[in-house]
């Protein structure tokens, strides 16, 4: 018996229709994908900063 909270109200998933369960599962998938993509963006931004930093060092030598 899982519970889900929407707009501050708790619902028992055993009592929800299949369509509501499918929507909850889709929402969970989207939230996980957003988290994964935000992590990837963070990694890419870190790499970008590193590459720019290395380029600055390279051009200082000239």
Report which of residues 5 and 62 the model is more confident about. 5
Give the tens place of pLDDT for each residue, 3-49: 999 999 999 999 999 999 999 999 999 999 999 999 999 999 999 99
For the whole model, what pTM was predicted? 0.75
* Per-domain residue ranges of the chain: 20-62
The whole-angstrom separation of Cα 46 and Cα 41 is 9
Enclosing H/E stretch for 3: strand 3-6
Of residues 61 and 8, which shows the higher confidence score?
8
Output the CA–CA distances (angstroms, integers) from residue 59 to 54, 55, 56, in the order listed. Answer: 9, 6, 5
Name the residue among 25, 4, 22 with its Cα closest to residue 33: 25
User: Who has greater pLDDT, 1 or 60?
Assistant: 60
pLDDT band for position 1 (cuts 50, 70, 90): low
């Amino acid at each position: 018996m899982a519970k889900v909270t929407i707009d501050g109200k708790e619902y028992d998933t055993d009592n929800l229709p299949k369509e509501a369960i499918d929507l909850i599962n889709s929402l969970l998938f989207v939230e996980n994908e957003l988290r994964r993509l935000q992590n990837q963006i963070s990694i890419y931004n870190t790499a970008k900063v590193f590459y720019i930093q290395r380029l600055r060092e390279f051009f200082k030598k000239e």
